[in-house]
Amino acid sequence: MITNNILSFAKSILCEVLEPGCIAVDATAGNGYDTVYLSRQAGVEGRVFAFDIQEEAIEQTRQRLNEECMPENWTLFHSGHENMLSLIPEEFHGKVNIVMFNLGFLPGSDKSIVTRPETTLKALADSLEILATGAMICIAIYAGHPGGAEEDAAVREYCTALDYHYVRVIQSEMLNKPGYPIRLLFLTKL
């Protein structure tokens, strides 16, 4: 397990639910690294749905998927993750194995375009609806950019209030990281 990078740590947990043939959602496609990871894990029998509000991010993701010769198992939505319930075909509702959120801004791009608490919370509620039993949501939260601390607080408040008999929430954090915190939340639907 690689623990010098929090996203590598997240992936070491997620590989438990990411089996060939799985259904995965990348709620924040960004530069496409996570979508490529999900597409590779899902394989030819699986499906990946990825969202981003920025056309640039969707194009980056498409390019990366093609360059890395990923199986044709992906669908990209140039739309907010708050629309996932209407955009992911109904046949997949209740069957999704993993939803990944990597919050914040698109690295190397306009840092004022960030994920926002209202839409993130709506997307989290919708993710819980489309997840299969035993499936997971992984959220990487960065509190360092403008609005980041508020989103961090809102997401953790939302997750803390979730019914323990319906969802289990585990938080991990690099405690000795200088500067702003980076946190991971893992939600498992029971």
Ligand X SMILES: C[S@@+](CC[C@H](N)C(=O)[O-])C[C@H]1O[C@@H](n2cnc3c(N)ncnc32)[C@H](O)[C@@H]1O
Number of residues that bind ligand X (CB under 6 A): 22
Residue placing its CB nearer to ligand X in the complex, 30 or 46: 30
Residue placing its CB nearer to ligand X in the complex, 75 or 166: 75
Out of 10, 106, 137, 141, which residue is the one contacting ligand X (CB under 6 A)?
Answer: 106
Nearest to 43 by CA among 62, 18, 67, 60: 18
Residue placing its CB nearer to ligand X in the complex, 39 or 102: 102
CA distances from 148 to 103, 117, 173 (A): 9, 9, 15
Check binding of 40 to ligand X (CB under 6 A): no
Check binding of 31 to ligand X (CB under 6 A): yes
CA distances from 4 to 7, 30, 130, 143 (A): 9, 22, 32, 19
Check binding of 28 to ligand X (CB under 6 A): yes
Binders of ligand X in range 51-90 (CB under 6 A): 51-54, 57, 80-82
Check binding of 172 to ligand X (CB under 6 A): no
Q: How far is the CB of 140 from ligand X (least distance, A)?
A: 8
Q: Rule CB under 6 A: which residues touch ligand X?
A: 28-34, 51-54, 57, 80-82, 102, 104-106, 113, 115, 119
